[in-house]
């Protein structure tokens, strides 16, 4: 799609993770999700001001905390309000790999009403990841029916 002159286009959206130990996070994402580090900018003190890692087709940006600028991660805050979702061809294998690399199971893998097998983990830096794999095609109407039934306990 070619934008018209002067038209605003969004080219990409990059998750930017703030963590308490960016070097360790880059190592974890490499081991857990087969991430490929693209580059990092490191201060003489060792603090990483910016790094990029490719996980599948997505690029994540990562930095160490800079509390002096209000940049802190989930571990410092004590929670996270963002979840990241990885869709994969072998969710059981990816889930096991992430746990072996140091992730904590939040929700075990289960077959879900929306046509995925999925489960949730928390990485060692406080970020939550939903790992899922396709089971079946489900129309939005059928998904709503199943969702309503699940909420009603039937």
Mean pLDDT for 81-94 is: 95
How is the chain split into domains, by residue range? 16-152
Dist CA 126 CA 108 (whole Å) = 17
Q: How confident is residue 9, by pLDDT bands cut at 50, 70 and 90?
A: confident
Tens-place pLDDT, residues 22-40: 999 999 999 999 999 999 9
CATH number for region 16-152: 3.10.180.10
Binning the chain into helix, strand and coil, the percentages to the nearest 5 are: 30, 35, 35
Q: How confident is residue 154, by pLDDT bands cut at 50, 70 and 90?
A: low
All residues at 6 or more sequence positions from 42 whose CB lies less than 8 Å from its CB, including other chains: 48, 49
Cβ atoms of residues 49 and 62 within 8 Å: no
Q: How confident is residue 57, by pLDDT bands cut at 50, 70 and 90?
A: very high
Q: How confident is residue 1, by pLDDT bands cut at 50, 70 and 90?
A: low
Percent of the chain, pLDDT > 70? 97
């Amino acid at each position: 799609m070619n934008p018209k002159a002067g038209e605003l286009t969004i080219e990409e959206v990059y998750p930017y993770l703030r963590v308490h130990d960016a070097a360790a996070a880059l190592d974890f994402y490499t081991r857990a999700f087969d991430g490929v580090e693209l580059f990092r900018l490191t201060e003489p003190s060792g603090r990483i001001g910016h790094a990029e890692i490719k996980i599948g087709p997505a690029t994540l940006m990562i930095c160490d905390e800079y509390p002096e600028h209000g940049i802190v991660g989930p571990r410092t805050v004590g929670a996270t309000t963002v979840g990241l979702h990885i869709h994969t061809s072998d969710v059981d294998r990816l889930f096991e790999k992430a746990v072996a690399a140091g992730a904590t199971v939040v929700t075990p893998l289960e077959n879900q009403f929306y046509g995925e097998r999925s489960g949730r983990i928390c990485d060692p830096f406080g970020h939550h990841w939903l790992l899922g794999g396709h089971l079946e095609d489900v129309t939005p109407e059928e998904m709503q029916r199943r969702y309503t039934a699940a909420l009603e306990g039937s």
